[in-house]
Chain A
Amino acid sequence: MELPATAAPARRSPAARQTLLLGLGICLLLVCVALSLALGSRAVPLSTVVDALLGHHAGSGSDAQVVTGLRLPRTVLGLVVGAALGVAGAVAQGVTRNPLASPTTLGVNAGASFAVVTAIYALQLTRPVEYVWFAVAGAGLAGLAAQAMARRAGELDPTRLALGGTVLTAVLASWTSALMLLRRRTLDEARFWLAGSLDGRGLEVLTPVWPLLLVGLVLAVAVAPALNALALGEESAQALGVPVARIRTAAALAVVLLAAGAVAIAGPIAFVGLAAPHLVRLLLGGDQRWLVPGCAVAGPVLLLAADVLGRLVARPSELEVGIVTAFLGAPLLAVLARRAAR
């Protein structure tokens, strides 16, 4: 029933080429970090950025404050969220063997959104820092619920995991809209969070989130070789001695943890988790052991580039990063899909 896009590592290119590409990706990421620190409604010279980061106050004091107080946390959050989304996408597509799978399809984003909007509706919260716990709880519960739906005779069925997540997303998203339509103030407060943004959160949002992300990342790295074997088909994997059921559960757990952390920080940012694995697969091939680090680099590149662009195009205001990722990623994915099939 699934498309073969995540099939076995077909074009196995030499490791040297892959290392080179990954190195280039990291350089690109550093450029994005620098741009994210330097650009915005006010451009700050790179030398001032460096001084501010090193703690010298040689440049003008307020420039330094902008860099360390606003842009540094924002950039760090962008790195974390981008990497989490990218890796979650890679594992999600690997375990479901469905190229349409992403953290969004597993119900996690919808769970977080519904929890946050419910909290805004019932408790009248107004600050992103207050939303974090609700987002984590909602994402976690939804992710676990999708997995529970997908169990078949005690084992996780990948097709049903994707379907269960999509069903759950449809239900929760429709309830979220209903809550926003019931009270105007909820709509006004929630629509900004729902667009997905890195703005206005301090580094303190990381406190409840980082353990989830760490565990998720470790699991993602650990299951990578086994997911390669699974791509060859369940029976071949079993013949190779892979404990299929356990690997699927661990992989699904990794997706839930990573996506829950990301959505708690930045709101539901669609598309990075979907597009990053496709991009990386085109460049590095389908080997999950390269896909995970590749997506850990490509995710933040996409997210930071989108965030910087969102600050520049609408100056002195800005566009929410979740909106920009979709605008940027959509044509990119379309062009790449066209190329790849040629």
Chain B
Amino acid sequence: MNRRTAACCLTALVLLLAVTATALSLGEVAMSPGTALRALFGFGQGGDVLVVREFRAPRVLAALIAGAALAVSGQLLQRLFRNPLASPDVIGVTGGASFGAVLLLALGASQLLVPLAALGGGLAAAGLLGAFAWRSRAAVGRLVLVGLAVQAGLAAAVNLMIVRFPAELASSALQWTTGSLYGRTWTEIQVGGAAVAVLLVAVLLLDRRVAVLDLGDESAGGLGLRPDRARLQLLLLSIALASLAAALSGPVGFVALAVPHLVRLLAGPPTPGTVLLSALTGALLLLGADVVVLHLLPVQGLPVGAATATLGAPWLLVLMIRQTRSAR
């Protein structure tokens, strides 16, 4: 990790702690950020502990976990495909997750099953893509095209259900497909968090292979790496991360697309610390957006996905413009 990346990581971490404390302290029962943090670990007044642990912490943690997972997923995909537009949308994961969740809503099943359906849908779509398009060598271009096709078909199915549903159901389906952190349970956080943590460690361990793959298949082979296998492993990791994120937060847009660009503009070309910085930035963006949606806006019930893009886009644009100036 170079010094610039380390400095960015540290800044992001400090900001993340501040936003987390703020998010835990805001709501009907007001308390100071310090009190909220102490209550999270079980210290302080019983009422505060209950409010923080039962109502606020699951939502905040879901935002952190999903944000980190989405950002790392996008980062891996953009480097694997060497395409700055690559994101979980492009390979069908988002479409599959939305389809699974909306189908379950249509069948009138319990809301509790929706995250499972989203996870299943995302993985199934990726499986479909793999079965159809994975043929080792130089398969990347084809993979993207087939992924777009899978995504388009599934998105149309979701669209069809939204058009045909009664307005009530259409509204909750739309809410879910735009991304929502409402009503997460501790079980979901624990399972999802553990899975994402394991996957992030795997990404960190495999991260050097991405850099080797960047050198081209022949050089990678010369360095003792089997390019096809490495690429498949990284792709699977990325798909699993995006599916887990979709299960926790719905298919929140923009985080996976934008965070890799933000990170590159802030910290320069990828280094070993980039994965960490991506995870921190993604978590910061999603949690920040959720705080805005929940506490700062006068209207209630907006999906968090509406805020991630609104918050993230100007930041990205300013960085793009500044980079242009310095390139002149």
Q: A329 — which chain B residues lie within 8 A by C-beta?
A: 149, 152
Q: A191 — which chain B residues lie within 8 A by C-beta?
A: 162-163, 170
Q: A105 — which chain B residues lie within 8 A by C-beta?
A: 85
A66 at the interface (CB under 8 A from B): no
Instruction: List B residues 236-290 near A (Cβ within 8 Å).
Output: 253-254, 257-258, 261
B197 at the interface (CB under 8 A from A): no
Known: A166-B257, A170-B254, A187-B170. A177 touches B145 (CB 8 A): no
Q: Secondary structure of the A side of the interface? A: helix
Which of B85, B132, B140, B306 has most A Cβ within 10 Å? Answer: B85
Q: Is the CB of A170 within 8 A of B257?
A: yes
Cα-based distance from A238 to B160 in the complex (angstroms)? 47
Instruction: List B residues 165-203 near A (Cβ within 8 Å).
Output: 167, 170-171, 174-175, 177-178
A56 at the interface (CB under 8 A from B): no
Cα-based distance from A324 to B85 in the complex (angstroms)? 25
The residue from B153, B303, B306, B317 contacting A167, defined by CB atoms under 8 A apart: B317
Instruction: List A residues 207-244 near B (Cβ within 8 Å).
Output: none
Instruction: Report the stretch among A129-137, A292-300, A332-340 that lies at the interface.
Output: A332-340
Q: Give the interface size class of chain B.
A: 35 or more
Q: Give per-residue flags for B144-162: 1 if the beta carbon is below 8 A from chain A beta carbons, else 0.
A: 1110111011011101101
B90 at the interface (CB under 8 A from A): yes
Q: B32 — which chain A residues lie within 8 A by C-beta?
A: none
Q: B178 — which chain A residues lie within 8 A by C-beta?
A: 174, 177-178, 181
The residue from B133, B167, B175, B301 contacting A338, defined by CB atoms under 8 A apart: B133
Cα-based distance from A188 to B163 in the complex (angstroms)? 8
Q: Secondary structure of the B side of the interface? A: helix
Q: Is the CB of A178 within 8 A of B306?
A: yes
Q: Is the CB of A163 within 8 A of B261?
A: yes
Which of B139, B156, B177, B301 has most A Cβ within 10 Å? Answer: B156
Q: Is the CB of B308 within 8 A of A334?
A: no
Cα-based distance from A337 to B129 in the complex (angstroms)? 12
Q: Is the CB of B313 within 8 A of A171?
A: yes
Q: Is the CB of B84 within 8 A of A162?
A: yes
Q: A271 — which chain B residues lie within 8 A by C-beta?
A: 152
Q: Is the CB of B159 within 8 A of A322?
A: yes
Instruction: List A residues 137-193 near B (Cβ within 8 Å).
Output: 149, 151-153, 159-160, 162-164, 166-168, 170-171, 173-175, 177-178, 180-182, 184, 187-188, 191-192
Q: Is the CB of B152 within 8 A of A330?
A: yes
Q: A327 — which chain B residues lie within 8 A by C-beta?
A: 153, 156-157
Cα-based distance from A241 to B316 in the complex (angstroms)? 35
Q: Is the CB of B327 within 8 A of A153?
A: yes
Cα-based distance from A55 to B155 in the complex (angstroms)? 43
Q: Is the CB of A337 within 8 A of B149?
A: yes
Instruction: List B residues 287-328 near A (Cβ within 8 Å).
Output: 299, 301-303, 305-310, 313, 316-317, 320, 324, 327-328
B82 at the interface (CB under 8 A from A): yes
Which of A4, A100, A182 has most B Cβ within 10 Å? Answer: A100
Q: B155 — which chain A residues lie within 8 A by C-beta?
A: 270, 326
B135 at the interface (CB under 8 A from A): yes
Q: B146 — which chain A residues lie within 8 A by C-beta?
A: 333-334, 337-338
Q: Is the CB of A175 within 8 A of B253?
A: no
Q: Is the CB of B84 within 8 A of A163?
A: yes
Q: Is the CB of A195 within 8 A of B163?
A: yes
Which of A98, A174, A195, A322 has most B Cβ within 10 Å? Answer: A174
Known: A340-B142, A341-B139. A175 touches B85 (CB 8 A): no
Q: Is the CB of B305 within 8 A of A174?
A: yes
Q: Give per-residue flags for B18-54: 1 if the beta carbon is below 8 A from chain A beta carbons, else 0.
A: 0000000000000000000000000000000000000
B55 at the interface (CB under 8 A from A): no
Q: Is the CB of B159 within 8 A of A331?
A: no
B2 at the interface (CB under 8 A from A): no
Cα-based distance from A278 to B141 in the complex (angstroms)? 12
A323 at the interface (CB under 8 A from B): yes
Q: Is the CB of B90 within 8 A of A100?
A: yes
Q: A326 — which chain B residues lie within 8 A by C-beta?
A: 152-153, 155-156, 159
Q: A325 — which chain B residues lie within 8 A by C-beta?
A: 156
Q: B85 — which chain A residues lie within 8 A by C-beta?
A: 98, 100, 105, 162-163, 166
Going nearest first, the 6 A-B pairs with the smallest beta carbon separation are A326-B156, A330-B153, A337-B145, A178-B306, A334-B149, A333-B149
Q: Can you list 13 A-B contacts with CB-CB less than 8 angstroms, sorted by A residue number?
A: A1-B83, A3-B144, A100-B83, A162-B85, A164-B320, A174-B178, A177-B177, A177-B306, A181-B174, A182-B299, A278-B145, A333-B148, A337-B142
Q: Which residues of A contact B (CB under 8 A)?
A: 1-5, 98-100, 105, 149, 151-153, 159-160, 162-164, 166-168, 170-171, 173-175, 177-178, 180-182, 184, 187-188, 191-192, 194-195, 270-271, 274, 278, 319-320, 322-327, 329-334, 337-338, 340-341
